[in-house]
Amino acid sequence: AAGVIQSPRHLIKEKRETATLKCYPIPRHDTVYWYQQGPGQDPQFLISFYEKMQSDKGSIPDRFSAQQFSDYHSELNMSSLELGDSALYFCASSVRRHPNTEAFFGQGTRLTVV
Amino acid sequence: GENVEQHPSTLSVQEGDSAVIKCTYSDSASNYFPWYKQELGKRPQLIIDIRSNVGEKKDQRIAVTLNKTAKHFSLHITETQPEDSAVYFCAASAPRGPGNTPLVFGKGTRLSVIA
């Protein structure tokens, strides 16, 4: 079965550079979530999209932005990268129109800022 | 907003023993409570979930209980095996519109099963 696909799997950037993370949700899933997980920490919710519209906003820095495209894939754009942005970034997708359905996570993108 | 507390942060058990992880939540409207298992460097994977219309759910060696009045839910793993060693996260979400709010996670419990 198709899963949530994230790319790239690993990314190394220097401070003040920009990065773009991509997420391809499971087909027919209408909601995409982005989470940031620092070392030894729980996943922190950043932002979500429902039917290509921003739905919820969590602890996403102003330096970050995201969008969902017509084909439902989503991109997280990160600018002016800081050392503290080094983390695992997970995308998850679900079917919101069916309440209480589980969120499936992608394999994540490991971002290292040096 | 929702706040999820999880205890303990680390747990070591002997192989074959049981493990219990507990979570509390703050939003009385929350109605969906999944548990995720995460191995080092990998994605969180759903192992079991419970909805607010039931008090207990079991799947082989894993069970979850929910006490809505006290706003807490627990994960029980019986006959633990070394491959159960991982970080376990509880989470909660509430109904909103056509679906639910984004999951709010607990801080995680690092479970070590000693052979």
Buried b or exposed e, range B72-103, using 16+ CB within 10 angstroms:
bbbbbbeebeeebbbbbbbbbbbeeeebbbbb
Q: If interface means Cβ-Cβ distance under 8 Å, which residues of chain A face chain B?
A: 31, 33, 41-45, 48, 50, 56, 58, 88, 90, 94-108, 110
Q: Where are the alpha helices (DSSP H) in B27-100?
A: none
Q: Tell me, what's the pLDDT at B28?
A: 94
φ/ψ of B8, rounded to 5, equals -85, 175
pLDDT-derived band at A99 (thresholds 50, 70, 90) equals: low
User: Could you tell me the CA-to-CA distances from A35 to A47, B20, B76 in Å, in that order?
Assistant: 7, 26, 26
Q: Tell me, what's the pLDDT at A97?
A: 66
pLDDT-derived band at B95 (thresholds 50, 70, 90) equals: confident
Distance CA B114, CA B69 (A): 35
Distance CA A3, CA A8 (A): 15
Higher pLDDT, A43 or B100: A43
Write the pLDDT tens digit of every residue in B15-56.
Answer: 999 999 999 999 999 999 999 999 988 999 999 999 988 899
Q: If interface means Cβ-Cβ distance under 8 Å, which residues of chain B face chain A?
A: 31-32, 34, 36, 41-46, 49, 51, 89, 95, 97-108
Q: Tell me, what's the pLDDT at B83?
A: 96
Q: Tell me, what's the pLDDT at A48?
A: 93
Write the pLDDT tens digit of every residue in A26-83.
Answer: 998 989 999 999 998 989 999 999 888 999 899 999 999 999 999 999 999 999 999 9
Three-state DSSP state, A83? helix
Q: Tell me, what's the pLDDT at A98?
A: 63
pLDDT-derived band at B87 (thresholds 50, 70, 90) equals: very high
Q: Tell me, what's the pLDDT at B1?
A: 84
Average pLDDT for residues B81-106, to the nearest whole number? 90
Report CB contact under 8 Å: B98, A102: no
Structure tokens at B39: 């191995």
Write the pLDDT tens digit of every residue in B57-67.
Answer: 999 999 999 99
Distance CA A65, CA A63 (A): 7
